[in-house]
A and B are shown apart, each in its own frame.
Chain A
Amino acid sequence: QSALTQPRSVSGSPGQSVTISCTGTSSDVGGYNYVSWYQQHPGKAPKLMIYDVSKRPSGVPDRFSGSKSGNTASLTISGLQAEDEADYYCCSYAGSYTFEGVFGTGTKVTVL
């Protein structure tokens, strides 16, 4: 069970859009529509931002959107705001016979 691959960092100016990729295999990302994304500010617990690839929990701004193509899932933040600067992690279901999960390596989003 290897960690999903994310870029170490991405950056953008306020108002711009950034996209974070999350690459796995056909045994995890590519095999199931169960990818979730979490935002983590320094010293805080992660917060759910996207689940089931593209669904947004109540209270999460619609600037956040998710998608998937093949073995790669993506999180897009449109209209970047200062408070979006944080670490972001993807997570995928990874077990066909067991209930296993695997996280991504994490991406630091910097608002310039």
Chain B
Amino acid sequence: QLQLQESGPGLVKPSETLSLTCTVSGGSISSSSYYWGWIRQPPGKGLEWIGSIYYSGSTYYNPSLKSRVTISVDTSKNQFSLKLSSVTAADTAVYYCARLIVATITFDYWGQGTLVTVSS
């Protein structure tokens, strides 16, 4: 059974960089059938797609976040990571990692999510 687990600091100061890692178990991140993505959900609000990455390193980002987002992959560790720079309180959210089926926007497996609060 595929499992995804987010990890990283739960508190980040304004203007700093948010860094999260998603560890994939029960399957290979190097599968040609899937992308890997990040989605966030501010408290009490809806879902927002942040970006996605293929095992080869190809990335796609939400245009509204593109200037601040970097997603990378480490196939040796079966992990992929998110960095969001110059954070503000508006970036406070539950951050989810998920698996996407190639050629569609279908998130078929999700991590449990991790709350990141931006505050001094």
Contact = CB atoms under 8 A, between A and B. Distances in A.
Interface string B81-114: 0000000000000001000010111111011110
Size class of A's contact patch? 20 to 34
Interface in B3-21: none
Given A99-B52, A101-B49, A103-B49, A48 B62 contact: no
Among B35, B39, B47, B48, which residue has the most Cβ atoms of chain A within 10 A?
A: B47
A94 B112 CA distance: 25
Interface residues of B, number: 23
Interface in A34-79: 34, 36, 38, 45-48, 51-52, 57
Contacts of B104: 34, 36, 51-52, 93
A51 B39 CA distance: 17
17 contacts: A1-B63, A36-B104, A45-B112, A45-B113, A46-B47, A46-B110, A51-B108, A89-B47, A91-B47, A91-B49, A99-B35, A99-B60, A100-B62, A100-B105, A105-B46, A106-B46, A106-B47
Interface of A: 1, 3, 34, 36, 38, 45-48, 51-52, 57, 89, 91-95, 98-106
